[in-house]
Homo-oligomer: A and B are copies of this chain.
């Protein structure tokens, strides 16, 4: 910057202003500065800028897995909103482990991210403490919670599961099993299970505990689960898989076994992943506003970080939608 200043015949602060707040500099100087910058190939050191201004222009986000295109949609929505404002994204994947999440949060806070976006509302004590103590704006996403760290932007996993289960019940299925994800330290999967239980109870139904399976989100697990379910309980006529991955795996297995879907057994999922619509039969599932979640996070954070006071609620429920297709 000193070099550029010398070349342009001005002081360094004028260079800084010409870059950050061009309208505070005369058009003439602006031109000279631009020329000097180009000539020298100057790229401002934003690290130094961050240190001096305490504005890093970076937002951190932790997702359980990057691979899963579900969260990728949210990340894409977020970047698209914040990029025009010169914000960037530091991304980390926790592999569904709150200790790993803690490590990432610590590292990102060290990088002085201006805000943190976390998946779900289940975090380690240390994570909560660090975030509160540093007074970092926080978004917990893909969930709804009564007791947020700060902002919450997502949908009710409980309601999504409850309504889909209800849909199966009112469609006339009598023996509805449940295929869910691992529950430990995962509020999304826990809430979905709770939603299923609630719907079943409300309807006055009662099944053995073994109507419920939980496994990692994996095609193969979905197949394995449905096989053991139907072996143990041949009366089962519908399965609600609280994740499309499991549902798809289950449907594939049914094809292999010659069990027709939905005639022998109906299968519903949750996510409306990209596979759901192209599957044969197309999957009845719950559509989550994945991209929108990212966009809303971006908008809320921009306001919180730079904008005027935000009067809108810090808890945003973006809802979901039951998508009825042929599989159930």
Contacts and interface: CB of A to CB of B under 8 A. Distances in A.
Question: Which 7 A-B pairs give the minimum distances between C-beta atoms?
Answer: A69-B69, A46-B110, A280-B280, A66-B76, A67-B76, A47-B112, A47-B50
A69 B65 CA distance: 11
Contacts of A170: none
B67 A134 contact: no
B43 A106 contact: yes
Contacts of A75: 66, 91
Contact of A69 (B45, B46, B67, B109): B67
Nearest to A110: B46
Interface stretch (A8-16, A82-90, A157-165, A314-322): A82-90
Contacts of A275: 274-275, 278
Contacts of A134: 43
A91 B92 contact: no
B51 A48 contact: yes
A250 to B, nearest CB: 11
Interface in A195-215: none
30 contacts: A41-B129, A41-B130, A41-B133, A43-B106, A43-B109, A43-B110, A45-B51, A45-B110, A46-B107, A46-B110, A48-B51, A58-B111, A65-B76, A66-B75, A67-B69, A68-B69, A69-B69, A72-B72, A75-B91, A83-B104, A86-B107, A88-B107, A88-B108, A89-B90, A89-B91, A89-B92, A90-B90, A91-B91, A274-B275, A278-B279
A165 to B, nearest CB: 24
A79 to B, nearest CB: 6
A45 B56 CA distance: 11
Interface string A236-278: 0000000000001000100100000000000000000011001
A93 interface: yes
Nearest to A290: B67
A73 B66 CA distance: 7
The bracket for how many chain A residues form the interface is: 35 or more
A219 interface: yes
B92 A88 contact: yes
A92 B67 contact: no
Interface in A28-54: 41, 43-48, 50-51
Contacts of A111: 46-47, 58, 88
Given A51-B47, A129-B41, A90 B88 contact: yes
B72 A68 contact: yes
A79 B56 contact: no
Interface string A140-165: 00000000000000000000000000
